[in-house]
Chain A
Amino acid sequence: MAPVPIADDLFTWPDDEPRLIGGRCAECGTHVFPLRAGCARCGAAAVERALLSRSGTLWTWTSQGFPPKAPFRGEFAGTDPFEPWLVGVIELPGQLRVESLITGCTQDELEFGMPMRLVTMPFRTDEDGQEIITFAFSPEGADHA
């Protein structure tokens, strides 16, 4: 079975160069993510589907040092001993700052403003053995698994 995304209409898939699926307000041009009916800026219910930029820069980040409670379901938290992972905010120029998991690097390699790009990564395997993937950002040029 081919892996499936964690949610419909979240990122383009299958795609060698995945993009996040957001929206753009037909009234004021503002980008939104995730795709929703109303515009966060002007309130118009005129948001049209739009693919976001695949590349951006690291605006901020932190480490995740404990396994989150439900509704968290990521299998990458199941290691023993627990291994922290990285999360951050990626600025997509002229569009949005997006919260995301960060993969393909260690904490020591992170620098504010470094170029990042959208990738997919394994998330969990469901009860039927279906592999589920999600999106993450990785340093530009990093060899993510």
Chain B
Amino acid sequence: MPDVAIIGVGIHRFGRFPGKPALAMGAEAARDALADAGLTWADMQFAVGGSYEVDQPDAVVAELGLTGVQFTNVYNGCATAGSALALASQTIKLGQHEIGLVLGMDKHESGAFTADPQEYGCPPWYGEMGLFLTTKFFGMKINRYMHDHGITHQTLAEVAAKNYRNGELNPNAHRRKPLTPEQILGSRMVNYPLTQYMFCSPNEGAAALVVCSADVAHRYTDKPIYLRSVVTRTRRFGAFEVHTPSASVAADHVPAPTVDAARAAFEAAGVDPADVQIAQLQDTDAGAEVIHMAEVGLCADGEQNKLIASGATAPGGSLPINTDGGLIANGEPVGASGLRQVRELVLQMRGQAGDRQVAGEPRVGLAQLYGAPGVAAVSILST
């Protein structure tokens, strides 16, 4: 019997909302999730909030109601939502509280993320030389991966085209205009081999989940979706990661943190990668989706060309991936991104995904996050 159930999901559309504060979007996502669960803010015994740009996500209580609730703020890079979900899960498993809200929100400037390199353990010259850039890391990683495993430029373009097609069917996506593989390949080269339309962009939005002890989930819903496991990991010695001036050659074939997180998540959930019927992966760029398919264990290195060309990862395929358009169509408000993934899994597993509903109501789903400076989170859900 799983310990934790997800009984409500909510979202504030991802995109650009000039003049609208992140906390206002967070409040809307929270209300959406509470309404989905048939509950009110006053029913929440605890809350966890995640954001990069908002110092105190708990300030959302000004909008939701000053109930005195325990509200913990977390930040863990692109894996923030994974850590927020992990904290909520632990709170329930420890018996501290029975029911609570997990909320993520962000409002980023446009363009690639930047920061003080020293805040990431890197020297100032690394930033001054233009090396402190996530996009160039993703270009270098997929370029090497293509060389090692024969992934083609066409495969990268097909992945992005699929995610734009999925975004077209998602009323909450930022980019809803389908693009052909030719348009994607022909767009401006950002970091070879990755073109403009192969990248997601930082943007704005919020997402929320209502979680409770699995013991009481049937009080609130006929169809609880269970959180079977959520695991976060950081990079190991020798791994090739974002914001790393050097890596050792003494540790070749070191697994990426996503590999470690996925293995631990599968073990804790007691399920096998072959059981997964739907996945939401961190597609910071089209290459990242390709690599993460293998890193979480859903295919072998090099199999992606065939899987993507055959449509296996499209909504009608055997292993649909990023069914709501992923980061490529939704953008990445860091604090909310992973909760959007979990919301999409829940909707698909309930059979409530509307126009983009995949066939056969999947019973096991996986969500994965990855970001600087080498942090990953993997969650596994089941009906």
**Closest B residue to A28 using CB positions:** B250
Query: A68 to B112, Cβ gap below 8 A?
Result: yes
Q: Which of B49-57, B137-145, B212-220 contacts A (4 or more CB under 8 A)?
A: B137-145
Task: Report whether B130 and A70 are in contact in the complex, using a CB–CB cutoff of 8 Å.
Answer: no
Contacts of B126 in A (CB 8 A): 99
Chain A residues near B192: list those with CB within 8 A: 61-63, 65, 107
Least CB distance, A72 to chain B, in whole angstroms: 4
Q: Which residue of A lies closest to B191 (CB)?
A: A62
Given contacts A65-B189, A71-B124, 11 further A-B contacts (CB under 8 A): A30-B248, A63-B139, A63-B189, A64-B191, A65-B191, A74-B128, A74-B130, A93-B249, A98-B245, A99-B131, A112-B144
Question: What residue of chain B has the Cβ atom nearest to residue A29's Cβ?
Answer: B250
Number of interface residues of B (CB under 8 A): 40
- A residues within 8 A CB of B114? 68-71
A87 at the interface (CB under 8 A from B): yes
* B143 near A62: Cβ-Cβ < 8 Å: yes
A141–B205 Cα distance when bound, in Å, is 51
- With A34-B123, A87-B136, A89-B140 already in contact, the answer to whether A99 and B128 are too (CB < 8 A) is no
B189 near A87 with CB under 8 A, answer: no
Q: Point out the residues of chain A lying under 8 angstroms from B143, CB to CB.
A: 60-62
Q: Which residues does chain A contribute within 8 Å of B178, judged by CB atoms?
A: none
Give complex CA distance A100, B123 in Å: 14
B237: CB under 8 A from chain A?
yes
Closest-by-CB residue of A relative to B251 is A41
Q: Which residues of B contact A (CB under 8 A)?
A: 111-112, 114, 116-117, 123-133, 136, 139-141, 143-144, 147, 188-194, 237, 240, 244-251
Given contacts A64-B130, A107-B192, A134-B129, whether A97 and B240 have CB atoms under 8 Å apart is: yes
On whether A41 and B248 interact (CB within 8 A), knowing A68-B112, A101-B129, the answer reads: yes
CB of A96 within 8 A of chain B? yes
A65 is contacted by which of B125, B190, B246 (Cβ under 8 Å)? B190
Contacts of B240 in A (CB 8 A): 89, 97
**Contact of A6 with B by CB under 8 A:** yes
How far does the alpha carbon of A64 sit from the alpha carbon of B134 in the complex, in Å?
11
Query: Would A31 and B248 count as touching, CB distance under 8 A?
Result: yes
CA distance A89 to B131 in the complex (A): 11
- A-side contacts of B130, CB under 8 Å: 64, 68, 72, 74, 77, 87, 101
Determine whether A73 belongs to the interface, using a CB cutoff of 8 Å to chain B: yes
> Taking the nearest CB of chain A, how far is it from the CB of B191, in angstroms?
5
Q: How far is the CB of B268 from chain A (nearest CB, A)?
A: 27
From 13 to 66 in chain A, residues with beta carbon under 8 angstroms from any chain B beta carbon are 22, 30-34, 40-41, 59-66
- From known contacts A60-B144, A74-B130, infer whether A97 and B249 are also in contact, taking CB-CB under 8 Å: yes
Q: Are A63 and B133 in contact (CB under 8 A)?
A: no
21 residue pairs from A and B, CB less than 8 Å apart? A7-B125, A10-B125, A22-B246, A30-B248, A34-B246, A41-B237, A63-B192, A65-B188, A65-B191, A68-B112, A68-B114, A68-B130, A69-B112, A71-B124, A74-B130, A89-B240, A91-B249, A96-B247, A97-B247, A99-B245, A99-B246
Residues on A with C-beta less than 8 A from B247 are 89, 96-97
Q: Which A-chain residue is minimally distant from B133 (CB atoms)?
A: A68
Residue of A nearest to B125 (CB): A7
Kindly list chain A residues whose C-beta atoms are within 8 Å of the C-beta of B237. 40-41
CB nearest to A136 among chain B residues: B129
- With beta carbons under 8 angstroms apart, the residue of B123, B139, B191 that contacts A7 is B123
A129 at the interface (CB under 8 A from B): no
Evaluate whether A34 and B245 lie within 8 angstroms (CB atoms) in the complex, with A62-B143, A69-B112, A70-B114 already known: yes
**B125 touching A6 by the CB < 8 A rule?**
yes
Q: Which of A83-103 contact B (CB under 8 A)?
A: 84, 87-89, 91-101
Chain A residues with CB below 8 A from B124, complex form: 7, 71
**In the complex, what distance in Å separates the CA atom of A6 from the CA atom of B126?**
10
Contacts of A41 in B (CB 8 A): 237, 248, 250-251
A69-B111, A88-B140 in contact; A33/B246 too (CB < 8 A)?
A: yes
A60 with B140: in contact, given A6-B125, A71-B116 (CB under 8 Å)? yes
Q: Are B140 and A62 in contact (CB under 8 A)?
A: yes
Give the one of A22, A64, A95, A123 with max B CB within 10 A.
A64
CA distance A7 to B132 in the complex (A): 16
Residues of A near B193 (CB, < 8 A) are 62
A101 and B131 CA atoms in complex are apart in Å by 8
Q: Which listed residue, A66, A88, A96, touches B248 by the CB 8 Å rule?
A: A96
How far is B248's CA from A34's CA once the two chains are assembled, in angstroms?
12
Q: How far is the CA of A70 from the CA of B113 in the complex (A)?
A: 10
